[in-house]
Structure 1
Amino acid sequence: MKKYFFTFGSLPNVLAPRTFNEKVNARKFFDHRRIFQTWVDKLAVRDWVAGVKPGYDQLLPVLHHVTSDPADIPFDQLPDRFVIKASHGSGWLRIVKDKATIDRKAIIAECRKWLALNYYDVNLEGAYKNIPPRILIEEFLDNGSGEAPEDYKLYVFHGRVEIIQVDVARFGQHRRKIYDRNWQEQQVELSVTTYAGTLPPPPQLARLIEVAETLAGDIDFVRADLYLVGDRIYFGEMTPSSGNGFNRFTPASFDAVMGAFWKLESPPRLLLNSLRRPRDKA
């Protein structure tokens, strides 16, 4: 609540939420579905994706290594380029583009720092609270120029993609554009400076939407993050509390526009239903 007030100058109405940010915060307070923990666990979600539909295992980047002790990372056996990430947090990752230049001791120390932290204590997102801490080494996805590909974040409300966020040069001069499902640019800035150039719709747009909607199923809201490498789609992550409920929309009125897509249950019913649902279901 304090962070929300310092960010927006007001408190969120989580009992009768109207905006997107208020609804994300209401979910954090009242919606404790077990599927959220599976989605934010970067190791467990891989098995979940593979089981959604036959062939969806092909969406997953190659997994080179998993460990709870970074001292056993097999650097000599890894490819020249790879991605190191923690299973139990957000933003805890390092991209290695040239294995020959890395400081292995520094990487091991950084991984140990991640493993010692509980992301719930950092960001108060309950879904992260009980995730086993592990280090994953995954395939580096190359856009053809030696850089990470554009990141397509598809906002799925009640089984339908409504908004598509495209992140460009996420690990460099990060810029962003917002579109609707028909690739009509939305006149809004979302937390990151708007990309000044033109982004044509990807040839695989219909397929991106199909994959995101299949992954989301009939849940009221989730953000499905996907990548395109050539004509192949790769899975990034599933995000049930996008922006942790602190998305900075400019103009601020777009917060209500986004919120209107999400028909959230009343908070008391949300809490009751989330506890009644089978633990392994959305």
Structure 2
Amino acid sequence: MSINKIIKKIRHSSSIGFFAALIMHRLYIFTKYRLRSDRYYIKKNFKNIVGRDLNLRVPKTMTEKIQWYKINYKNPLIIQCADKYAVREYVANTIGEQYLVPLVFHTQDYREVKSENLPDYPIVIKANHTSGTTHFVKDKSTVNWKSVQNDCRWWLHLNYYHLDKEWQYENIKPRIVVEKMLTDADGSIPSDYKLHCFNGKFEFLQVDLGRFGTHRRNLYDNDWNLLPFTFSMLDRDKRPKTPNGKIVERPKNLALLIDLAEKLAKPFPYVRVDFYVINEEIFFGELTFHHGGGYEQFTPSELDLHFGEKIPLINYYV
């Protein structure tokens, strides 16, 4: 059993178990992620995952520049924009609040996440400062709310920065956010459209399919041509873990999606802008500044340099 599974089991056992798990978690984070500098950890992780040395002195490829930005680009605006609650203000001011997913509830007190404070329709409960910390609630009468509160309490203690040295997460004030669940006509979670923007300009769009099953990914240009390359984590044989999937119908509002993405991306050297589209209605998803942690790779690999050349190097310190 992994250390994370052991910690999870302990924290759900009792109130004392929660604090014991929290101490274990902090010791684990300290020994694994905080004894070395950010630069050391990033270079080591890059070598382990990508399989080559990381050039931080003169970065040229996209993967190298994403790592460089973790250390050298500390624009306060990305703190707001990486915060799943605070980014709503940036989106409303930049493209309009009509593109925001309806906000149901938010709190910094895990005990307030309970049935009587939430609506009867399907909702999504998530932390504003992490990734992968989410509960999908379709019927609140079937939910174990003590277990959900335990998770929310745990999330509020996490600092996502330590795991991959993405600077912006270190300074986000933790909060629990509840939004209306977006669903397709069949009740399923809709696919999202991830638009990669370089120096404020759209370059390619990513559609992920079957994220909770067999994960596939298609990449498209601004005319909805399927691009002849992949952008994915690689397996041991250097093959993409998320190859192309089934054909995806072109969204009717593709031009608008690109325009909205470029408006949101304008201040940044590189950012991925995510949207959901339901019955031609567009909803903002999130802004991601270090896609895949900077470890996903292009196949063919030459495209890493091609797209890296589109990302300017801008130092920004606070």
TM-score by length of 1: 0.89
2:128 to 87, 91, 94: 87
How far is 1:85 from its partner? 0.8
Task: State the Cα distance separating 1:250 from its structure 2 match.
Answer: 2.8
2:278 alignment partner in structure 1:
229
Q: What displacement does 1:126 show?
A: 0.6
Distance 1:163 1:257 in 2: 13
Query: Does the alignment pair 1:124 with 2:165?
Result: yes
Residue 243 of structure 2 is matched in structure 1 by: 194
Listed one character per residue, the Cα deviations across residues 114-139 of structure 1 (whole Å, up to 9, x for unaligned) are 11111111221111001111100011
- In structure 2, how many angstroms separate the alpha carbons of the residues matched to 1:80 and 1:218? 36
Deviation at 1:168, TM superposition (A): 1.9
* Alignment map for 1:217-256 (pairs within 5 Å): 217-256=266-305
Pairing 1:130-141 to 2, within 5 Å after superposition: 130-141=171-182
- Cα offset for 1:218? 4.6
Q: State how far apart, in whole Å, the 1-side matches of 2:210 and 2:54 are.
A: 32
Instruction: Count residues with an aligned counterpart.
Output: 267
Deviations, residues 60-81 of structure 1 (Å, cap 9, x unaligned): 1111111111211242332331
Identify the structure with bigger relative contact order (alpha carbons < 8 Å, sequence gap 6+): 1
- Which secondary structure state, in structure 2, belongs to the residue aligned with residue 185 of structure 1? coil
Partner of 1:177: helix, strand, or coil?
strand
> Which residue does 2:37 correspond to in 1?
none
Normalising by structure 2, we get a TM-score of 0.80
Give the Cα separation in 2 of the matches to 1:149 and 1:59: 16
Asked whether the 8 Å contact 1:80–1:100 carries over to 2, the reply is no
Q: Matches of 2:274 and 2:93 in 1, distance apart?
A: 17
Within 2, Cα distance between the matches of 1:195 and 1:131? Answer: 35
**Corresponding position of 1:72:** 112
C-alpha distance in structure 1 between counterparts of 2:214 and 2:140, whole Å: 23
- Unmatched tracts of structure 2, length 5 or more: 1-42, 233-240
Aligned counterparts, 1:143-182, within 5 A? 143-182=184-223
- Contact 1:158–1:221 under 8 Å retained in 2: yes
Code of the aligned partner of 2:181: F
Query: Residue 21 of structure 1 contacts residue 247 of structure 1 at CA under 8 Å; is this kept in 2?
Result: yes
SS in 2 for 1:152: strand
1:168 partner letter: L
Shift of 1:100: 2.4
1:166, 1:258 → 2: CA distance?
Answer: 18
Aligned letter for 2:205?
Answer: I
For 2:259, the equivalent position in structure 1 comes to 210
| 1:228 to partner: Cα distance | 0.2
RMSD between aligned residues: 1.6
| Higher Rg of the two aligned structures | 2
Q: 1:25-69 deviations in whole A, cap 9, x for unaligned?
A: 11111111111111111111001111114xx10111111111111
C-alpha distance in 2 between matches for 1:234 and 1:169: 20
Q: Distance in 1 between matches of 2:277 and 2:292?
A: 22
Alpha carbons of structure 1 residues 160 and 48: separation in structure 2 relative to 1, 3 Å: same
CA shift for structure 1 position 210: 0.8
Q: What do the CA deviations read for 1:242-276 (whole angstroms, capped 9, x no partner)? A: 111111333333322322322x22xxxx33xx237
Mapped to 2, the partners of 1:92 and 1:73 lie a distance apart of: 14
* Inter-partner Cα distance in structure 2 for 1:144 and 1:257: 39
For 2:171 and 2:267, the matched residues in 1 are separated by 25
CA contact (8 A) 2:161 2:170 kept: yes
Note closer, same or farther for the CA distance 1:137–1:2 as it changes in structure 2 (3 Å cut). Answer: same
Partner of 1:13: 55
The question of whether the paired residues in 2 share the 8 Å contact of 1:115 and 1:134 is answered with yes
d(CA) in 2 for partners of 1:170, 1:208: 22
Contact 1:168 1:195 in 2 (8 A): no
| 1:62 correspondence with 2:102 | yes
Q: Out of 13, 32, 36, which is 2:74 matched to?
A: 32
Q: What letter matches 2:82 in structure 1?
A: V
Measure, in 2, the Cα distance between the counterparts of 1:136 and 1:228: 21
Structure 1 stretches of 5 or more lacking a match? Answer: 277-282
